[in-house]
């Protein structure tokens, strides 16, 4: 309400951690390598295609994970609306969290 035109981007690092917590240990590396491809594309359209391919591949084994991702999908690819040079600083909040830890420790 305070910033009605502000865009919200889910932290992909936290999304990946949440995925890892909900999948079998044997599948984690493979799933993470595939999910990381989402934020390594050159355009939002390509990223959406990779994400939907990910959904199709893993839905049978992890429908609960895929359902959760679909619910937050609008917030997963917002960083693609910005110039390539700053995308890495947007798709993860880890730098912000690290800075806050220094200030408030």
Residue 20, H or E segment: helix 12-22
Residue-level pLDDT at 95: 57
pLDDT, mean of residues 22-51 = 95
Greater pLDDT, 100 or 22: 22
Q: Which residue from 31, 18, 12 is spatially nearest to 78, judged by alpha carbons?
A: 12
* pLDDT tens-digit readout, 85-98: 877 777 666 555 55
pLDDT, mean of residues 54-81 = 95
Q: Which residue from 92, 14, 91, 26 is spatially nearest to 62, judged by alpha carbons?
A: 26
* Banded model confidence at residue 42, pLDDT cuts 50, 70, 90: very high
Least confident of 12-16, 26-30, 74-78, 88-92: 88-92
Running DSSP on this structure, what letter comes out for residue 73? G
* pLDDT tens-digit readout, 13-25: 889 999 999 999 9
Q: pTM of this prediction?
A: 0.80
- Are the C-beta atoms of 78 and 7 separated by less than 8 Å? yes
């Amino acid at each position: 309400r305070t910033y009605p035109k502000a865009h919200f981007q889910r932290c992909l690092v936290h999304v990946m951690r949440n995925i890892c917590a909900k999948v079998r240990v044997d599948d984690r590396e493979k799933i993470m390598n595939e999910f990381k491809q989402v934020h390594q594309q050159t355009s939002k359209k390509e990223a959406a295609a990779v994400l939907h391919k990910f959904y199709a591949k893993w839905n049978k084994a992890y429908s609960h994970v895929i359902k959760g991702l679909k619910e937050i999908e609008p917030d997963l690819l917002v960083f693609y609306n910005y110039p390539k040079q700053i995308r890495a600083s947007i798709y993860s909040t880890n730098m912000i969290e690290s800075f806050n830890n220094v200030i408030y420790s």
